[in-house]
């Protein structure tokens, strides 16, 4: 999972260049792979310089276990992003 500290990331699907979303400072990507590991068909492309921070699967699971509020927030956003 990656958190965008600075910059803009465009999310596209397949061969299309059309943006499904433009994510900026404070947004995150990759949570779907941690919650439901399966092949994805979306691509993330940095549109400018970005500071990204990564969170490993084991650290993610540890946080979810100890912070149910954060866990629900991530799950809510993930459910909105499912194709």
Q: Say which residue the tokens 């465009």 belong to.
A: 10
Is the domain covering 2-81 a CATH 2.60.120.10 domain?
Answer: yes
The pTM of the whole model exceeds 0.85: no
What is the chain's pLDDT, residue by residue, as a tens digit (83 residues)? Answer: 899 999 999 999 877 888 989 999 999 988 888 877 777 778 899 999 999 999 998 998 888 888 888 878 888 887 887 66
> Do residues 4 and 27 touch, judged by C-beta distance below 8 A?
yes
- Domain-wise residue ranges, the chain: 2-81
Q: How far apart are CA 18 and CA 16, in angstroms?
A: 5
The predicted pLDDT at position 80 comes to 80
At residue 82, the pLDDT reads 66
pLDDT of the residue at 51:
97
Could you give the CA distance from residue 3 to residue 24 in angstroms, rounded to a whole number?
9
Output the pLDDT for position 25.
96
């Amino acid at each position: 999972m990656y958190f965008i500290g600075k910059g803009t990331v465009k999310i596209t699907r397949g061969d299309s260049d059309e943006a499904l979303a433009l994510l900026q400072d404070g947004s995150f990507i990759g949570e779907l792979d941690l919650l439901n590991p399966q092949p994805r068909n979306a691509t993330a492309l940095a549109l400018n310089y970005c500071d990204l921070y990564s969170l490993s699967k084991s650290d993610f699971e540890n946080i979810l276990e100890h912070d149910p509020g954060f866990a629900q927030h991530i799950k809510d956003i993930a459910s909105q992003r499912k194709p």
